[in-house]
Structure 1
């Protein structure tokens, strides 16, 4: 599932198309469109110049024009979505749901499972409405706000970090990596964290998010928990203890029973 690091990679893809003029928009599967007729995208965007993309959490906004940037396309990536920049002559992929043809190349929204889709936003209020349902972006939140937003109610730490209304952008892989690096058990109650725990959680969260955003994914490096979570009898890269897994908050969760004691 695309998380903040993946969407940051998609933002860089879109940034490479900033300044290009939209020649046409082909919605090849109307099921991915949330709030408009498929033909409405072409009518709204044709002839407009793409602006600089904006990301918040797992959302990506593709604005147009030199003013406030509307109309704009809002991209949700669901479980399997991605954004690619291709040459105009590249063969179509069966999961290319929307193709934006530019004066040079194309942007393609590709999604196998079609769980959420895209929306056409005609004014700033639409973008603000989307943001109002989300917490601060995980890459920008500071320690005090992190503690305030997660510590308001007694919840397991894994569930609290995955709650997009608390902190936007964190997904399953990112949260497991952060908690492993912070030496915190995913079932730890947020109300049980002390000042050193919050400091360590904040530092590790920003470190993991920054490194992953540069890579465009949570990288499966040998020194990372992510590099071992899918191994049979995988071992902790820090202490070599066999890793434990279970389902928490509906997600497969991996942790080290030695480094992350309950």
Structure 2
């Protein structure tokens, strides 16, 4: 393996990082919210699955599988070498980076402020957590301590599908509304996971974000754009009346 930019490493040096992972291999990854957790294994004795990589991709990061002789991209920060090829951590902005956790306590420290994962939370817990907050629905859903894993584009898509404006107050949602919102969220996330990103299909709100004349794919109304909770927000004033 090779570290080409140590600025993406958190809580460790390039030398310590390489030494900790030498002669180890990755096992089944897990995910919590926007974090990817990759356990490792090897011949040396130690706690099962450790050291463990915790990767956060921010807005521009990803993992790319490449051939050994593929040209190095200027944003390839860390390269993990395998017999069949290379796994490259590529990130332009380096917002969050890679943590190396040596035990469960270090994993807990990194993830301590996160709520339950948005894709796995059940209806009742979702309803309970929303009932504890009184604010507009978009910033509530984007609060990672309330619910981990939803980003700006995800939340706009969910609210458009659910037909409520991003400015609706959580206290104004009836119990049935909350359960339907949960179903829309789970449905959207399943589709996004299958695609590997929030699809920019023409039938999705996301597919029209960057158009000069942004119109709702459902009713053709001109889409409204403004800051909600400090984040750039897109919605349809006809489908999502406030």
Report the TM-score when normalising by structure 1.
0.87
2:117 aligned partner: 137
SS of the counterpart of 1:176? helix
Deviation at 1:143, TM superposition (A): 1.6
**Does 2:5 align with 1:32?**
no
Does structure 2 conserve the Cα–Cα contact (< 8 Å) formed by 1:121 and 1:127? yes
CA RMSD of aligned residues (A): 1.3
**Displacement, 1:103?**
2.4
Equivalence for 1:6: none
Work out whether residues 133 and 140 of structure 2, in 8 Å CA contact, stay in contact via their aligned partners in 1: no
**Matching residue of 2:127:** 147
Residue matched to 2:234: 254
Q: Structure 2: state its 5+ residue gaps.
A: none
Q: Is the 8 A contact 2:114 2:144 kept in 1?
A: yes
CA contact 1:135–1:164 (8 Å) conserved in 2 = yes
Written as runs of structure 1 = structure 2, the 5 A alignment for 1:33-72 is 33-65=9-41, 68-72=48-52
Distance 2:17 2:192 in 1: 32
Give the corresponding residue for 1:9: none
Selected match of 2:107 from 124, 127, 137: 127
* Alignment-derived partner of residue 97 in structure 2: 117
Separation in structure 2 between the aligned mates of residue 79 and residue 96 of structure 1, nearest angstrom: 15
**Deviation at residue 42 of structure 1 after TM alignment:** 1.2
**Which structure 1 segments of 5+ residues have no match?**
1-24
Q: 1:199 Cα shift?
A: 2.0
In 2, distance between residues paired with 1:153 and 1:201? Answer: 16
Cα distance in 2 for partners of 1:89, 1:96 equals 14
Alpha-carbon contact 1:235-1:242 (below 8 Å) kept = yes
The aligned length equals 238
State which drifts further: 163-172 or 58-67: 58-67
Could you tell me whether the CA contact under 8 Å between 2:159 and 2:166 is conserved in 1?
yes
Moved more, 174-183 or 69-78: 69-78
Greater alpha carbon shift after TM alignment, 166-175 vs 72-81 = 72-81
CA contact (8 A) 2:127 2:179 kept: no
Q: Please, what TM-score do these two structures have when normalized by structure 2?
A: 0.94
Say if 2:200 is the partner of 1:220.
Answer: yes
Displacement of 1:37 in angstroms is 1.1
Deviations 1:132-173 (A, max 9, x none): 210111110112111211221211100000111111110011
- Is 1:166 aligned with 2:146? yes
Residue 71 of structure 1 and its aligned partner are, at CA, apart by 0.6
Larger relative contact order (Cα-Cα within 8 Å, sequence gap ≥ 6): 1
